[in-house]
Amino acid sequence: MPSRISPQLASVLFMLLASFLLAGTSILAKTLGQGVFAPDGNGLHVFQISFGRFAFAFLTIALTVTVLRPKFGPLELPLHIARTTAGWTGITLAFTALIWIPLPDAQAINFLNPVFAMIFAIPLLRERVGPWRWLAAMIAFCGALILLRPSAASFQPAALFALASAVITGFEVILIKRLSGRQEPLQILLTNNGIGLCIASCAAFFVWSAPAPGEWALMAALGATMICAQACFIQSMRRAEASFVISVSLSSLPFATVMDYFAFGAVPDRISLLGAAIILSGVLFLFFREMRAKAV
């Protein structure tokens, strides 16, 4: 009889799948934004892309809840609203950046969100941040500055959307920490996507244009893929310490690079590779320090 798979290995496999799926959602959002399947060649407005992400994600999780019929606890609505508002804003800014800058650059800048989460944890969770954490943050920020290409000839204004997304997502991480352990994952996913659908619907109403059948299909794939990625992420975190598996989540960057090449023929330049490498170094340094601190 084969031995059962270890929790650590299962956690890594779930995180690898989550990273692959998250890279896939970026490709789908970029495809929608650039109008690849639009008859007139015009991409959907980013508010419509966010609507598709939340609408079909909510449909997927609602069907799952209907089948499984889990028991839910009391709903902490104010916290859910704050978390979802931050989540919708962050994902909308991220989708905006994806349309205009190389996908690997946007992905790399997004890896700053744990650094911003660390900074937000100081006033909101009353956590102390030592010199090694600040060093890791400075390393990651240097990588982000490189990716922004701060010169008159090469500056990428759209990269600021990715940076803003990382800031807001870092704040969302703090809110998720407050929710985790209080409510079941399915309840969190259902509530998050339900509120997100309401916000996205209001925003999309003002810019709505009829999507083509292919665009509807891509939005459905975007929402379903996002829910599957979130589910895999949660399953990974439930099986091992975050510090053990977080480095595996960085695999979404090479996944995104390969997908971007095959989908759009994009090849990262030396500046992109250097900036991404520095950001990843800072993030890995941060989490390895966290893992070492817990072991002491």
Other C-beta atoms closer than 10 Å to the C-beta of 291 total: 15
Strand partners, 180: 183
Number of domains in the chain: 1
Q: In angstroms, rounded to a whole number, what is the distance separating the alpha carbons of residues 86 and 101?
A: 22
Q: Which of 72, 71, 148 is nearest to 108 (CA)?
A: 148
Residues 158-209 have pLDDT tens digits of 889 999 999 998 898 788 777 766 777 788 889 999 999 999 999 999 999 9
Strand partners, 183: 180
**pTM value?**
0.84
Q: Residue 270: inside a domain, yes or no?
A: yes
Q: Residue 1: inside a domain, yes or no?
A: no
Q: In angstroms, rounded to a whole number, what is the distance separating the alpha carbons of residues 267 and 257?
A: 8
Q: Residue 103: inside a domain, yes or no?
A: yes
Q: Residue 28: inside a domain, yes or no?
A: yes
What is the residue range of 227's domain?
A: 7-295
Q: Residue 2: inside a domain, yes or no?
A: no
Q: In angstroms, rounded to a whole number, what is the distance separating the alpha carbons of residues 291 and 293?
A: 5
Both structure tokens of 186: 């399915």
Q: Residue 44: inside a domain, yes or no?
A: yes
Residue spans of alpha helices (H) in 151-211: 159-179, 185-205
> How does pLDDT run along the chain (296 residues), one tens digit per residue?
445 777 778 887 888 898 899 999 999 999 999 888 888 878 899 999 999 999 999 999 999 999 998 888 888 889 999 999 999 999 999 999 988 888 888 888 887 887 788 788 888 877 777 787 788 788 888 888 888 776 555 567 888 999 999 999 889 878 877 776 677 778 888 999 999 999 999 999 999 999 999 999 999 999 999 989 888 887 877 776 655 566 667 678 788 888 888 888 888 888 888 888 888 888 777 767 666 665 55
Q: Residue 78: inside a domain, yes or no?
A: yes
The length of the chain, given as a count of residues: 296
